[in-house]
């Protein structure tokens, strides 16, 4: 059976495609999931792609991934800037996390320059639009291959 990675998406990412397309692009989350699926197949991984608007659900999914996945790509949305609970959840699991954002959070408002996830992530990709998911997944697969 192919090793599994979780791709977890936080609040408001269900609105991709119609949400501030000048910042986040025109692809929907379904489009992005399909692109991730294609890459995963070529790399020999299975993906479990999910989105929630609720912080505690993300915490639950991180715990679940700790048992069920070899790695996690996480777009925490705005919770990435605020959530100590997400940082603690990642600290509690032994699975590498690659943080990702579509937009370049460092080129935006000051409150987006902070990430609670980054200190406990293997690394962070941001600023490449939907391609951030591909780049983050490639980095995650490279980590998990070794
Ligand atoms: C985001 C960046 C966050 O600052 C924002 O709150 C989001 C999306 C991104 O993918 O660029 O919801 O995570």
**Nearest in space to 114 (alpha carbons), one of 99, 128, 129:** 99
Whole-angstrom CA distances from 79 to 26, 51, 65, 118, 145 are 22, 13, 18, 12, 29
Q: Whose CA is nearest to atom 9 of ligand 1?
A: 101
Reply yes or no on whether the pLDDT at 102 is more than 90: yes
Q: Whose CA is nearest to atom 7 of ligand 1?
A: 77
**Nearest in space to 50 (alpha carbons), one of 127, 24, 126, 59:** 59
- pLDDT class for 84, splitting at 50, 70, 90? very high
CATH number for position 52: 3.40.50.9100
Rounded Cα gap, residues 31 and 37, in angstroms: 10
Selected catalytic residue, list 45, 79, 81, 101: 101
Reply yes or no on whether the pLDDT at 146 is more than 90: no
Instruction: Give this prediction's pTM.
Output: 0.98
Sequence-ordered list of residues with C-beta below 8 angstroms from that of 42, at least 6 positions apart, any chain: none
Name the residue range of residue 113's domain: 4-145
pLDDT per position as a tens digit, 8-50: 999 999 999 999 999 999 999 999 999 999 999 999 999 999 9
Number of domains in the chain: 1
Reply yes or no on whether the pLDDT at 1 is more than 90: no
């Amino acid at each position: 059976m192919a090793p599994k990675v979780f791709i977890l998406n936080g609040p408001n990412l269900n609105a991709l495609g119609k949400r501030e397309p000048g910042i986040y692009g025109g692809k929907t989350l379904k489009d992005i999931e399909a692109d991730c699926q294609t890459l995963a197949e070529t790399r020999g991984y299975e993906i479990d792609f999910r989105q929630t608007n609720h912080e505690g659900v993300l915490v639950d999914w991180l715990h679940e991934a700790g048992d069920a996945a070899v790695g996690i790509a996480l777009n925490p949305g705005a919770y990435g800037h605020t959530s100590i609970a997400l940082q603690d959840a990642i600290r509690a699991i032994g699975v590498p996390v690659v943080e990702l954002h579509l937009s370049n959070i460092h080129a935006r408002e000051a409150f987006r320059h902070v990430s609670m996830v980054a200190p406990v992530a293997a690394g962070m990709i941001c600023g490449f639009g939907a391609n951030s998911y591909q780049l983050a997944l490639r980095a995650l697969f490279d980590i998990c291959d070794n």
